[in-house]
Structure 1
Amino acid sequence: MSLVLMSLMANVAWADTANSKTTEVSNRDYVLGAGDFVRISVYGSADLLTEARISAAGTITFPLLGEVTIGGLSPKLSESKLAELLEKGGYVKKAQVNLVVLQYQSQFVSVLGDVYKPGKVALDRPSKLSDVLAMAGGATPNGSDIVTLIRTQAGKTTKKDYDLRDLIAKADATHNPQVLGDDIVYVNAREVSVLGQVNRPGKYSVTSGVRTVLDFLSQAGGVASNGADSIIVMTKRNGQLEKIELDVDQLYRAGELANNFELSNGDSIYVPRVPVFYIYGEVQRPGAFRLERNMNVAQALSTGGGLSIRGTERGIKIKRNIKGELKTLDAKAGDVLQANDIVFVGESLF
């Protein structure tokens, strides 16, 4: 994540926080809990104006009514409950109750991942995504531009990703949503996936010292013995996903470092399994062997240890899959093999 982006995010969060301090805090969907400080007024009954902190049991003491439980209710439902109690008790006719949360102290959000101060953040006011990120110190340089908001309501868990660039550029409720108690905000690491035939496949973080194709191959332990001579890199360029095939040998050579480009969050490296050929019949070591680039029949025979005492180079056959059909071909010493070819060496009759 760029320093400029981090700075902009901090500015957005500061502006949101400053605005929230200048107005009474109000959140109609908030669930009241122990420690929250509320102001309750009844239209036309100034003597009933009350400010109270909700107890550990979820109760407040209200004039005329005594202890009333509002913990676990929203402000709107609390208003309805108080109005109903006042009317039933004969204290106020057609009571109009207004409840405002002055301090939010019962709700916490977990901010995890690549932030400077991971952990629980107290929601002491209605807070947006940018607010809680700022309270956690912001994203580290290894943090990506993608933040995941995880929310559980009514036993159902949802996950939604937000792009910090949109959060800053647009800063509306769609891109910078309000967070609720028990939400989890997770700042993803900038990661590149290294998959296939490497010694340690997995996801690796983009850091100041790990940025290029070779850096990530090294992090993954290098190409395994059964890895192919070429690798496939999936990377985004100009917003478009691009597939690039690179020759491993040329990648390591001096003068070919132009192919050793930097990768970014979400890119991937895939090392295919090395292509093989099979050789059977009258050879010293029948079996499956690595197919080297431009390997011909003569080289394949040498890889198989050469002909046995009964073998002959006359009448060598290649079985090859052509468009889904296995066909038998006559072979010459200079014919180039293809992946999964089966070379069969016959027995000499004389």
Structure 2
Amino acid sequence: MHRTARIFLAATLGMMALTGVSAAIAQSTPVAAADEAYVLGPDDVIDVRIYGQFQEPFRVRIRSDGGITLPLIGDVAAAGETPGRLAKTIRKQYVDNRIFNNAIVNVEVVSYVSRSATVLGAVRTPGILPLVRPTRLTTLIAQAGGQNNGSSIVVLRRPGMAEQRLVISQIAGTEADPIVQAGDVVIVPAEVRFFVYGQVRAPGAFTLEPGMTLRQALASAGGQNDAGTERSIRLYRNGQEMWADKLDELVQPGDVLYIRTRLL
């Protein structure tokens, strides 16, 4: 074998050896607990891995009393703990009981059951969603597929609290966007519309925004055209017909504005 080939082979074997050592170190290094902020509760399923002692992780479901059972140490309180804190508790019990001198423990959540919220209404995929980590209200709506012809209003119902009605565009990306809690029910109502017809530039149906006035509704339709006038607007509301002489009045769901022709 030529000297150059021998050098290449030695270098290759050296790199392979280093790779093997690196892999071994990576396998023995404790893995960071997933979703550290998640608080465990009854019926959650977790994997408890004890590196260097057992080849496979122990998959356990947290009991209704909040505990789990592990080999050699018995019962451990799991509910109310994060995965990281539970891993430290398990390690301490193995070490304090002199079962393992230096146990390396990792806890990962397999099934999120105890902490979830419900999203209903005009979203693409309504249902029960797990709260894997701290989640803001608008993020939860996005996880449900986003609005599906839904209104800009979202209703938040939380046990023991009064119902909240929030405007999505106003809270998104701000501290006013609440953190969802377990048991919350989020409802995105169907889109609410009003109608503008007659002598306007773009007649039709429009989405009713919170706090919208009749003047703003008229602007949504492009305003009156050359043949129309703000002084001759009829308002049809709840089966009644009236003059719309106060344009700063708030629009109500289903309102119909009809801009009449200007008199010459």
TM category (shorter chain) comes to 0.5 to 0.7
Deviation at 1:115, TM superposition (A): 3.5
Deviation at 1:165, TM superposition (A): 4.7
What is the aligned counterpart of 1:339 among 242, 250, 253?
Answer: 253
> Contact 2:156–2:187 (CA<8 Å) still a contact in 1?
yes
Deviation at 1:114, TM superposition (A): 5.0
What is the aligned counterpart of 1:217 among 141, 162, 169?
Answer: 141
Q: Deviations over 1:151-180 (max 9, x none)?
A: xxxxxxxxxxxxx25999xxxxxxxxxxxx
- Cα 1:206–1:279 change in 2 (3 A) is same
For 1:19, the equivalent position in structure 2 comes to none
Q: Which runs of structure 2 are paired with 1:212-291 in the superposition (5 Å)? A: 212-224=136-148, 226-236=149-159, 240=160, 242-254=162-174, 256-257=175-176, 259-264=177-182, 266-291=183-208
C-alpha RMSD of matched pairs (Å):
3.4
**1:205 aligns to 2:130 (yes or no):** yes
Q: How many residues align?
A: 174
What is the aligned counterpart of 1:299 among 216, 225, 243?
Answer: 216
Q: Deviations over 1:42-66 (max 9, x none)?
A: xxxxxxxxxxxxxxxxxxxxxxxxx
- Cα 1:242–1:337 change in 2 (3 A) is closer
- Cα 1:298–1:214 change in 2 (3 A) is closer
**1:328 aligns to 2:241 (yes or no):** yes
Paired with 1:213 and 1:234, the residues of 2 have a C-alpha distance of 12
More strand by share: 1
Deviation at 1:279, TM superposition (A): 0.9
> Contact 2:134–2:179 (CA<8 Å) still a contact in 1?
no
For 2:83, the equivalent position in structure 1 comes to none
Paired with 2:230 and 2:170, the residues of 1 have a C-alpha distance of 35
- Cα 1:251–1:335 change in 2 (3 A) is closer
Paired with 1:313 and 1:214, the residues of 2 have a C-alpha distance of 38
- TM (norm. structure 1) is 0.42
Deviation at 1:188, TM superposition (A): 5.0
Unaligned runs of 5+ in 1: 7-112, 118-134, 140-144, 146-163, 169-186
Paired with 1:202 and 1:291, the residues of 2 have a C-alpha distance of 26
Q: Which runs of structure 2 are paired with 1:140-151 in the superposition (5 Å)? A: none
For 2:61, the equivalent position in structure 1 comes to 138
SS in 2 for 1:315: strand
SS in 1 for 2:169: helix
For 1:30, the equivalent position in structure 2 comes to none
SS in 1 for 2:230: coil
> Contact 1:212–1:263 (CA<8 Å) still a contact in 2?
no
Deviation at 1:136, TM superposition (A): 7.0
> Contact 1:283–1:308 (CA<8 Å) still a contact in 2?
yes
- TM (norm. structure 2) is 0.54
Q: Deviations over 1:60-96 (max 9, x none)?
A: xxxxxxxxxxxxxxxxxxxxxxxxxxxxxxxxxxxxx
Aligned identity (percent) is 29
> Contact 2:151–2:192 (CA<8 Å) still a contact in 1?
yes
Paired with 1:261 and 1:194, the residues of 2 have a C-alpha distance of 14
Paired with 1:329 and 1:191, the residues of 2 have a C-alpha distance of 48
By relative contact order (CA 8 Å, sep 6+), the higher-ranking structure is 2
> Contact 1:232–1:270 (CA<8 Å) still a contact in 2?
yes
For 2:82, the equivalent position in structure 1 comes to none
Paired with 2:212 and 2:162, the residues of 1 have a C-alpha distance of 30
Deviation at 1:116, TM superposition (A): 5.0
Q: What amino acid is the match of 1:349?
A: L
Deviation at 1:242, TM superposition (A): 4.7
Q: What amino acid is the match of 2:194?
A: F
Largest Rg, 1 or 2: 1
Q: What amino acid is the match of 1:235?
A: R
**1:195 aligns to 2:138 (yes or no):** no
Paired with 1:297 and 1:244, the residues of 2 have a C-alpha distance of 25
